[in-house]
Amino acid sequence: MRMLTKTGLSVAILLVAIGMAPVAKADPITISTGGFSLTNLGNDGGGASGLDGLVGAATSYSRDVTGPGSFIALLNPLSFEVGFTGIGSEGTYTFNFSQPLTINGVTQTLNLFGSITIRTTFDTVRILSSAPLTFNFDTFSVDVKVVPKTIHGWDGISCNVLNARFIVRQDCNPVPEPATLSLLGIGLAGIAAKLRQRRKKRMV
């Protein structure tokens, strides 16, 4: 009988531990961007209209995450169009731009910073960084950090991609699912039943 009581208590303790443990649950994340189009970067007005130009196409991406961590995802396929920007336009110029970024239906503005260096034979555009951006949801939050990108271009169009690192932070106090709460209740009921049984035996 003692063995049976010990076994029952062990099972109940195990169920209580399961009930108190955080539930590992997959959170779906869907990301989409609105895209951007920049023209006349560093152009002094004496060159071809619209050059140098940088276009980031709109895109979307989705994945499931099961806990804190980070991943890199595509923000935009890039097209850098290089051409004659005018005599004396050589040099380095900074610029900033923005595009809408949506995660799980919540839209914020992603503000980015870049520079372009115009040389005689080729031009270089750099996307350097972005302003801090955080999305908050019920059970997790997501920080967005742009991965710096450099593109060298000669006459014509050069293609590349712009990525960002998405850092997922889980809620510190996840709520147990109903099934877990049921197991916890069964475990506590088992403990109460065993205690009642022992009291009855002592009274007899």
Could you state, in order of their start, the residue ranges of all structural domains in the chain?
1-23+188-204, 25-173
Does the pLDDT of residue 15 top 50, yes or no? no
The pTM for the full model equals: 0.72
Question: Would the pLDDT of 69 be above 60?
Answer: yes
Enter the DSSP assignment of 161: E
* Average pLDDT for 1-18: 49
Strand, coil or helix: 190: helix
Contact 78, 161 (CB under 8 A): yes
pLDDT at 171: 73
- What does the mean pLDDT of the chain come to? 84
Q: Is the pLDDT confidence value at 4 over 50?
A: no
Mean pLDDT calculated for residue range 86-96 = 95
Vertex 63: Cα angle to 58 and 67 (nearest 5): 135
- State how far the Cα of 157 lies from the Cα of 151, in Å rounded to an integer: 11
Decide if pLDDT at 104 tops 90: yes
* Residue 28 scores a pLDDT above 60: yes
